[in-house]
Amino acid sequence: MQVLAVETSTEACSVALYIDGETYERFEIAPREHTKLILPMIDSLMAEAELKPEQLDGLAFSRGPGSFTGVRISTGIIQGIALGADLPVVPVSTLAAIAHHYLKNSTSNCAFTAMDARMGEIFWGVYQKNQQGYAELIGKEAVTLAENIIFPQLQGMGIGSGWGEYPEQLTNCIGQLLQGIEAEHLPRASAIVDLGVMGFNNNQAVAVEKAMPVYLRNKVAKKESER
């Protein structure tokens, strides 16, 4: 199987290519540079593998939550490639990607995943490592105040930028279930492609017209009366 994945929902910009069990990745932290970097990253990775889009089995992308602009970039890029090459797509949660990358490379089995959502809120999701080694959502993803999180009675690590912004509120909620905090984790296309391949194997691929972003929040700025 050959799958291309892109991730642009935060300050990190990355592309990954999965070829029969091996993953190749381009990753760079470059705020506000995604539109300049993403296509050259794709071109160089595909050229290195001597592949054309038509030779791929499918695509995966970070469908959000995250930066509105960043999520639109990854969605638009993948929709364009999918339309041009007539490829199926697996949309992957950004929160799931953060959790999967962490759980894949650690001994922990649970990740309390929080991304800074601005406006005093976080994007929140709790993930557990399943028997196949993939991050599996427990409950629902949400956009919420840090002090209003919902979580299962499981021990786990706090990961993601939300823990850097609201460590006290989140720690007070989770208490002794919290094993530690690693706030620096960002989503990566290598995790998107892992979860994308799993999605293809589980018949979760969709046609391009159904490959849509998930923002969790519908508004991007507070009204003057809300500030």
List, for residues 154-203, the tens digit of each pLDDT value: 999 999 999 999 999 999 999 999 999 999 999 999 999 999 999 999 99
- Supply the pLDDT for residue 218: 65
The C-alpha atoms of residue 60 and residue 226 are separated, in whole angstroms, by 37
Band (225; pLDDT cuts 50, 70, 90) = very low
Q: Structural domains in the chain?
A: 2-93+187-210 (3.30.420.40), 95-182 (3.30.420.40)
Band (217; pLDDT cuts 50, 70, 90) = confident
Q: What is the pLDDT of residues 33-89, one digit of tens each?
A: 999 999 999 999 999 999 999 999 999 999 999 999 999 999 999 999 999 999 999
Counting beta carbons within 10 angstroms of the beta carbon of residue 168, is it exposed (0 to 12), middle (13 to 18) or buried (19 or more)?
exposed
The residue behind tokens 């609201």 is 166
For helices 189-201 and 94-104, the axis angle rounded to 10 degrees is 100
Q: What's the maximum distance between 2 C-alpha atoms anywhere in the chain?
A: 55
